Amino acid sequence: MTRPILFSTIALLALGACDDDDTGGGGAADVLRIQPIASVVAGTDANPEVVRFLPGTSDKAIFVASKINSLGVISYDDNGLSIESLTSVPASQYDAGNTHSYLTSIAVAPDGSFVAVARVDTRCPTPANASAALEPGSILFVNPAPPHAIISEVQVGYAPDSLHISADGNWAVVANEADPERSLDDSNL
């Protein structure tokens, strides 16, 4: 039996807004013009999920490739884009070896000093493994440059996703998609 290979891509789009009469009169844009520029293969079965621009640069972005536990840095310009690096994120203190987790989301500090990465723990009870425990995920705070060394890590709720950092860089917020039926005042969360 052959297994299909999925090639995951990232696309670069040019956005332009103009008035409906296209006179450039400075009013609110009535039309948003979107033009595809390029796409690039992120890797076999890489599953790129979230792309963020890197502050302080005019030609770089970072993305999470969830199924291969990697962060990629891309360079872009008017002519296209290319992957500069695709680096495996170091093992979590909660899941040494990355064997039971994958990455779901990223957010970049406004000053570009760190990247927050949501990591989901995939161990969960199944009929075949009823004794397995649902484990909380974590947020890794990593260096934006390869090899993306971990600065800090904090365990959060179950299945963290949709991660954002405040404009001043002092707060991070994450949506935890799974709820193991525990109350908000449970000290185990």
SS3 153: strand
**CB-neighbour burial class of residue 110 (10 A; exposed 0-12, middle 13-18, buried 19+):** middle
pTM of the entire predicted model = 0.75
Structural contact between residues 20 and 30, judged by C-beta atoms closer than 8 angstroms: yes
Structural contact between residues 52 and 62, judged by C-beta atoms closer than 8 angstroms: yes
- Token digits of residue 78: 């008017």
Dist. CA 88–CA 148, nearest whole Å? 8
Query: b vs e for 147-185, b when ≥16 Cβ sit within 10 Å of the residue's Cβ?
Result: ebeeeebebbbbbbbebebeeeeeebebebeeebeeeee
User: For every one of its 189 residues, what pLDDT tens digit does the chain have, with 9 covering 90 and above?
Assistant: 433 333 445 565 666 655 555 555 555 556 778 777 778 888 778 888 889 999 999 999 999 988 888 899 999 888 888 889 888 887 666 665 556 788 889 999 999 999 999 988 776 555 555 555 667 889 999 999 888 889 999 989 888 888 999 999 999 999 988 765 554 444 544
pLDDT the model gives residue 171: 93
